[in-house]
Structure 1
Amino acid sequence: MTPWVHVDTGLVPGEKTTLRLMRQGDAFAITVGNQDLMRDRHCESERALATLVAARLQDRPKARVLIGGLGMGFTLRAALDAFGPEAEIVVAELVPAVVAWARGPLAHLFASSLDDPRLALHEADVNRLIQSGPAMFDAILLDVDNGPEGMVRGENNRLYDAWGLKRAHYALRPGGVLGVWSGRPDRKFKARLARSGFSVEEVRVRSRASGDGPRNVLWIATRTGPPVSPPARPASEAMP
Structure 2
Amino acid sequence: MKPWVHLGTASIPNNGGELKFSRRDNEFSIRLSGVRGELMNSRMYGSEQALSELGCAHIKQSDSAQVLVGGLGMGYTLAAALNAVGPSSQVTVAELIPEVVEWNKGPLGDCAGHPLQDSRSEVYLGDVADLLLQKNEHYDAILLDVDNGPEGITQKDNNWLYSVEGLDDIYKSLKPEGMLAIWSAGYDPMFVIRLKKAGYQASTKTVRAHAGKGSKHTIFLAQKPWR
Verify same fold: TM over 0.5: yes
Deviation at 1:16, TM superposition (A): 4.7
Deviation at 1:106, TM superposition (A): 0.6
1:10 maps to 2:10? yes
The 3-state SS of whatever aligns with 1:41 is: coil
Question: What letter matches 1:217 in structure 2?
Answer: T
| Alignment correspondent of 1:195 | 197
CA RMSD of aligned residues (A): 1.5
Deviation at 1:101, TM superposition (A): 0.4
Deviation at 1:110, TM superposition (A): 3.8
Deviation at 1:108, TM superposition (A): 1.1
Q: What is the rounded CA distance, in whole Å, between the counterparts of 1:143 and 1:223 in structure 2? A: 19
Q: What is the rounded CA distance, in whole Å, between the counterparts of 1:173 and 1:11 in structure 2? A: 35
Q: What does 1:1-240 align with in structure 2 at a 5 Å threshold?
A: 1-33=1-33, 34-35=35-36, 36-209=38-211, 211-224=212-225, 226=227
Q: What is the rounded CA distance, in whole Å, between the counterparts of 2:64 and 2:16 in structure 1? A: 39
Deviation at 1:25, TM superposition (A): 3.1
- Once the two structures are superposed, residues 50-84 of structure 1 have per-residue CA deviations (whole angstroms, 9 ceiling, x without a partner) of 11122122353211000000010001111111112
Worse-superposed segment, 174-183 or 24-33: 24-33
- Name the CA shift for 1:16/1:181 in 2 (closer, same or farther; >3 Å): closer
- Once the two structures are superposed, residues 170-198 of structure 1 have per-residue CA deviations (whole angstroms, 9 ceiling, x without a partner) of 11011100000011111111111111111
Question: What letter matches 1:204 in structure 2?
Answer: T
Q: What is the rounded CA distance, in whole Å, between the counterparts of 1:225 and 1:191 in structure 2? A: 20
Deviation at 1:121, TM superposition (A): 0.6
Which consecutive unaligned segments of at least 5 residues does structure 1 have?
227-240
- Once the two structures are superposed, residues 128-186 of structure 1 have per-residue CA deviations (whole angstroms, 9 ceiling, x without a partner) of 11112320111100001111111111111001111111111011011100000011111
TM-score normalised by L of structure 2: 0.94
Q: What is the rounded CA distance, in whole Å, between the counterparts of 1:26 and 1:19 in structure 2? A: 19
- Name the CA shift for 1:117/1:125 in 2 (closer, same or farther; >3 Å): same
- Once the two structures are superposed, residues 80-103 of structure 1 have per-residue CA deviations (whole angstroms, 9 ceiling, x without a partner) of 111121111011000001001001
Deviation at 1:225, TM superposition (A): 6.1
Q: What is the rounded CA distance, in whole Å, between the counterparts of 1:27 and 1:156 in structure 2? A: 28
The 3-state SS of whatever aligns with 1:207 is: strand
- Name the CA shift for 1:142/1:55 in 2 (closer, same or farther; >3 Å): same
Which consecutive unaligned segments of at least 5 residues does structure 2 have?
none
| Alignment correspondent of 1:230 | none
How high is the sequence identity, in percent, across the aligned residues? Answer: 40
Do the aligned residues in 1 keep the contact of 2:95 with 2:127 (CA within 8 Å)?
yes
The 3-state SS of whatever aligns with 2:59 is: coil
Do the aligned residues in 1 keep the contact of 2:141 with 2:180 (CA within 8 Å)?
yes
Deviation at 1:224, TM superposition (A): 2.1
How many residue pairs get matched? 225
